[in-house]
Chain A
């Protein structure tokens, strides 16, 4: 009898350990996390506009008035520039690392001008840029990222059906491409 109680007690301690292990390791092996789904969607450096209905990719616009496009990037070789412009009432953008932690976010009120213009750079590239800032980047928001891989989520709102085409065009014309830092 005492042995059974002891076995259950040890089992409970083990259960606590397994609980903690499962919770901590969960983000790495669910296979349904946002990063895995985005990797399955499309190549790097291209905005992919999400569908409005639930689908096999697992990613869709769950809010009927907010349209989302995602772009996966890797800035280890070259920095990436995100640009978009168009006639939308409001846009927001977020940058996530591959563990889906938010590393940067902004909206149209905090941008210079009306359009999205963000350069994602590593700390080394930032130093290069500081030394000689290219003309073309003068109005861009420079974002130094601690991780080299990640994804950008760009959203535009369409409060009325008539604004739907504008939001779709805004996301479809968004650019998320690598650029070269000219050695000065």
Chain B
């Protein structure tokens, strides 16, 4: 007697349950299509434009940030090291190499949701192209660790996983066609102290 209402309810439950869950999951899992991937780094050069895909638009509306325009710069994010392992807040890493051409860049740490990971004020939690020490060939090595290191050092001591964010200001990278030839710094793990 109640078969039809039960079936209708089942249909609606499946539709709303799976539809809502899958939408929420996609928005959490991805920032949309059209990423530039270089090693462990990825960037979305079109996310702030009208030609961004619907997933990217939904994602950026949820985040509510004021994104960098095309002439302003490009933000690269690394969630993994070069071996593909997630970056842990309890491990130490080196970021070494060179960046694509840009007039200014900054390297900072965020958690996996994009909120800044800050260190106490006496420790450096970010670095930029002006205060980075370089080798004679222009390449740099930045230590990301809980313990102080000589040379370039960013303090990383965070429960949970983190992301490295490299912001390039005034860079031709977004419009460049030879993207595969761009040099991004490599992120390699040194070790995990208190795992």
Contacts and interface: CB of A to CB of B under 8 A. Distances in A.
Interface in B1-58: 3, 7-8, 10-20, 22-23, 26-27, 48-50, 52, 54-55, 57-58
A10 B125 contact: no
A101 interface: yes
Interface in A12-45: 12-19, 21-24, 26-28, 30, 32-34, 36-38
A19 B125 contact: no
Contacts of A104: 69
A26 B62 contact: yes
A118 interface: no
Interface SS majority for chain A: mixed
Interface stretch (A63-71, A75-83, A176-184): A63-71
A23 B58 contact: yes
A104 B167 CA distance: 20
Nearest to A100: B60
A99 B67 CA distance: 12
Contacts of B62: 26, 30, 32-33
Contacts of B71: 92, 94, 105-107, 110
A135 interface: no
Contact of B19 (A22, A50, A89): A22
Instruction: State which size class the interface on A falls in.
Output: 35 or more
Interface string A85-96: 000011011111
B115 interface: yes
Interface stretch (B82-90, B101-109, B139-147, B182-190): B101-109
B3 to A, nearest CB: 7
A62 B10 CA distance: 45
B170 A34 contact: no
A78 to B, nearest CB: 24
